[in-house]
């Protein structure tokens, strides 16, 4: 690991000033589970870490119902949030997508603010002995295109990058139209979670729409009746693995008919993936296996699989159909 | 002074330790290299294997992905701090009773994780124990014996 300075401010404003002073070559440190991993690999090498775990303010650490919806502080740990009573009862998809991720130790350490910014697991990104990686070194090429890409994305790819977004919770957030609260040098602002991540396009090195130094301070889940929601995650092993395919679904059923349906897909895309085409096909229709299958087909119609990840198209569709039917049959 | 060296105080197993650390030093390296507490093991050093598991403020954490400077102000318990005046912790005894290891390298991390698993209440059946212990890999595959040991210790710890 390369040398860095470490600062531990007690106020959020101080943290933002610290990052502003040091310039772009800095990073916020909370759980550190992605950051320190990538620093050890020399994939990233900030000159300064700003530890935000001691910044004062209950709002960063609590989950509460507000007029705008459910607000979740960014410094709540994944484990604490997964066990939250409100989530377990009223938003099962938010809880399940957390506890099906990582390991118990990592979920204790990682905070949800950093969780959504987790970096890809693409081996060519993580291994600096490969010179080609447009995400790590813009313009250098992409070793994954003709390399081993079984775990890579089939949706939202570009000819510059096919790296998969590895997180789970983000699929639930995008499905439920969450908002992200951020604090920057010019004060607080909020953006739609769907506008947080950027498709790789020609600039896979720019992964999100946060401005330099902006800090995620919380999330708001707009009020909604989402007790009929769940997260299905298909992995190579039963626990502690990244998704080959996953689906976050939330249903509003009127009898057999879908008044509303929300779908986030994981394991198959370059960013948290809102399945708007599938939702559109299902809204107002009875939730039958045939309709679910047609919707899954439509969502994956533009999939761009390569040699090793062709299975993800079939698996992604099957995962979505299964999640929809299981949510339909939930006793709520 | 070089801003990349920090004078810190760490509370390990109830004792305060003053030490100067490079900001890059992980809690795991501080335990092993600075304090001689070599029970916590370095396996992958990337948060994947669980061999370095310790308790931080009562929660199981990975000491290889924790900076020593960032651990200041927390209470750390390692495998060396598990035993009390009455002898081995029930989990340590259960691992011996069930031969829950072969080479033993992952064992300190397994035991620290297992104690936390019991405290968290994730020991209702074998499947739950396996799920909540999945962050601790055992290349000798002593898993069935580890599950058996955890069940025995959970009963002794009053949460079986």
Average pLDDT over residues B129-147: 98
The ipTM (two decimal places) reads 0.97
The number of angstroms, rounded, from the C-alpha of B35 to the middle of its chain's C-alpha atoms is: 16
pLDDT of residue B1: 61
User: What is the percent of chain B where pLDDT is above 90?
Assistant: 94
Residue with tokens 């510059």: A160
Token reading at B104: 């033993």
Query: At the fourth CATH level, which superfamily is domain A229-328?
Result: CO dehydrogenase flavoprotein, C-terminal domain (3.30.390.50)
Over the stretch A287-324, which tens digit does the pLDDT of each residue have?
Answer: 999 999 999 999 999 999 999 999 999 999 999 999 99
How close are the terminal C-alpha atoms of chain A, in Å?
50
Token reading at B147: 């599950």
Over the stretch A227-267, which tens digit does the pLDDT of each residue have?
Answer: 999 999 999 999 999 999 999 999 999 999 999 999 999 99
- For chain B, the maximum distance between any two Cα atoms, rounded to a whole number of angstroms, is 54
Would you call A48 an interface residue with chain B, using a CB distance cutoff of 8 Å? no
Which residue in A4, A8, A36 is closest to B65 by CB distance?
A36
The CATH class for the domain spanning A5-54 reads alpha beta
Helix A311-328 to helix A289-299 angle (10° resolution) is 140
CATH architecture of B90-156: Orthogonal Bundle (1.10)
Residue of chain B whose Cα is closest to the Cα of A41: B46
The number of angstroms, rounded, from the C-alpha of A173 to the middle of its chain's C-alpha atoms is: 8
**Rounded distance between C-alpha atoms, residue B145 and residue B81, angstroms:** 23
Q: Are A308 and A301 in contact (CB under 8 A)?
A: no
Which chain A residues contact residue B129 at CB under 8 A? none
Which chain A residues contact residue B131 at CB under 8 A? 238-239
Over the stretch B36-52, which tens digit does the pLDDT of each residue have?
Answer: 999 999 999 999 999 99
Q: Do A240 and B134 make contact, defined as CB atoms within 8 angstroms?
A: yes
Q: Do B60 and A104 make contact, defined as CB atoms within 8 angstroms?
A: yes
Q: Do B24 and A103 make contact, defined as CB atoms within 8 angstroms?
A: no
B90-128 CB burial, b ≥16 within 10 A, e <16: bbbebbeebebbeeebbbbbbbbbbbbbbbbebbeeeee
Which chain B residues contact residue A6 at CB under 8 A? 4, 6, 23, 67, 69-70
pLDDT of residue B3: 75
Q: How far is B120 from chain A (nearest CA, A)?
A: 10
Q: Where are the domains of chain A?
A: 5-54, 229-328
Residue ranges of chain B assigned to CATH 1.10.150.120:
90-156
**Rounded distance between C-alpha atoms, residue A12 and residue A183, angstroms:** 8
Q: What is the DSSP string of B124-155?
A: SSHHHHHHHTTTS--TT--HHHHHHHHHHHHH
Residue of chain A whose Cα is closest to the Cα of B21: A6
**Rounded distance between C-alpha atoms, residue A275 and residue A194, angstroms:** 11
Q: Are B159 and B123 in contact (CB under 8 A)?
A: yes
SS3 content of chain B, % helix, strand, coil (to 5): 40, 20, 45
A123-142 CB burial, b ≥16 within 10 A, e <16: bbbbeeebebbbbbeeeeeb
Would you call B55 an interface residue with chain A, using a CB distance cutoff of 8 Å? no
Token reading at A267: 């394991």
Would you call A54 an interface residue with chain B, using a CB distance cutoff of 8 Å? yes
Q: Do A104 and B23 make contact, defined as CB atoms within 8 angstroms?
A: no
Which residue in A40, A105, A240 is closest to B60 by CB distance?
A105
Would you call A123 an interface residue with chain B, using a CB distance cutoff of 8 Å? no
Would you call B110 an interface residue with chain A, using a CB distance cutoff of 8 Å? no
**Rounded distance between C-alpha atoms, residue A72 and residue A321, angstroms:** 30
pLDDT of residue B159: 58
Residue from B62, B74, B127, B136 whose CB has the most chain A CBs within 10 Å, to mutate: B62
The DSSP code for A197 is: B
Order of strands, sheet of B5-12, starting from the edge strand that comes earlier in the sequence: B15-22, B5-12, B75-77, B53-56, B59-62
Average pLDDT over residues B87-100: 98
Residue of chain A whose Cα is closest to the Cα of B44: A37
pLDDT of B97 above 70: yes
pLDDT of B107 above 60: yes
CATH architecture of B5-80: Roll (3.10)
Q: Which residues of chain A have pLDDT under 50?
A: none
């Amino acid at each position: 690991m390369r040398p860095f300075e470490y600062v531990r401010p007690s106020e959020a404003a101080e943290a933002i000033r610290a990052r502003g002073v040091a310039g772009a070559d800095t990073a916020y440190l909370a759980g550190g589970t992605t950051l320190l991993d990538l620093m050890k690999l020399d994939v990233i090498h900030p000159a300064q870490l700003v530890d935000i775990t001691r910044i004062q303010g209950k709002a960063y650490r609590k989950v509460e119902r507000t007029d705008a919806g459910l607000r979740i502080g960014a410094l709540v740990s994944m484990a604490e949030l997964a066990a939250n009573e409100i989530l377990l009862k009223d938003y099962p998809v938010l809880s399940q997508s957390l506890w099906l991720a990582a390991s118990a130790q990592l979920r204790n350490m990682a905070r949800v603010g950093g969780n959504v910014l987790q970096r890809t697991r693409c081996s060519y990104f993580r291994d600096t002995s490969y010179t080609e990686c447009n995400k790590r070194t813009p313009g250098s090429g992409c070793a994954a295109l003709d390399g081993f890409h079984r775990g890579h994305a089939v949706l939202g790819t570009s000819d510059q990058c096919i790296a998969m977004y590895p997180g789970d919770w983000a699929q639930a957030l995008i499905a439920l139209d969450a908002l992200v609260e951020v604090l920057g040098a010019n004060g607080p602002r909020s953006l739609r979670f769907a506008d947080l991540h950027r498709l790789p396009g020609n600039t896979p090195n720019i992964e999100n729409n946060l401005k330099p130094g902006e800090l995620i301070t919380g999330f708001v889940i707009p009020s909604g009746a989402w007790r009929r929601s769940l997260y299905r995650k298909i992995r190579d092993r039963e626990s502690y693995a990244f998704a080959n395919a996953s689906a976050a679904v939330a249903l509003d059923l009127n009898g057999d008919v879908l008044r509303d349906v929300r779908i986030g897909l994981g394991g198959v895309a370059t960013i948290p993936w809102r399945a708007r085409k599938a939702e559109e096909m299902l809204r107002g229709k009875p939730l039958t296996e045939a309709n679910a299958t047609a919707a899954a087909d439509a969502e994956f119609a533009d999939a761009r699989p390569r040699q090793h990840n062709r299975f993800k198209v079939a698996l992604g569709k099957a995962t979505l159909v299964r999640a929809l039917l299981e949510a339909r049959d939930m006793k709520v | 002074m070089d801003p990349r060296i920090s004078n810190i105080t760490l509370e390990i197993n109830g004792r305060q330790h003053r030490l100067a650390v490079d900001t890059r030093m992980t809690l795991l390296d501080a335990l092993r290299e600075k304090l001689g507490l070599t029970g916590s093991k370095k396996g992958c050093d990337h948060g994947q294997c669980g061999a370095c598991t310790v308790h931080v403020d009562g929660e199981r954490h990975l000491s290889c992905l924790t900076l020593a400077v960032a651990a200041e102000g927390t209470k750390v318990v390692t495998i060396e701090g598990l035993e009390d005046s009455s002898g081995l912790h029930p989990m340590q005894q259960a691992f011996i009773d069930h031969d829950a290891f072969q080479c033993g390298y992952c064992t300190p991390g397994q035991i620290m994780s297992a104690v936390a698993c019991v405290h968290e209440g994730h020991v209702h059946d074998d499947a739950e124990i396996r799920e909540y212990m999945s962050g601790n890999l055992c290349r000798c595959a002593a898993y069935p014996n580890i599950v058996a040991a955890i069940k025995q210790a959970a009963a002794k710890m009053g949460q079986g």
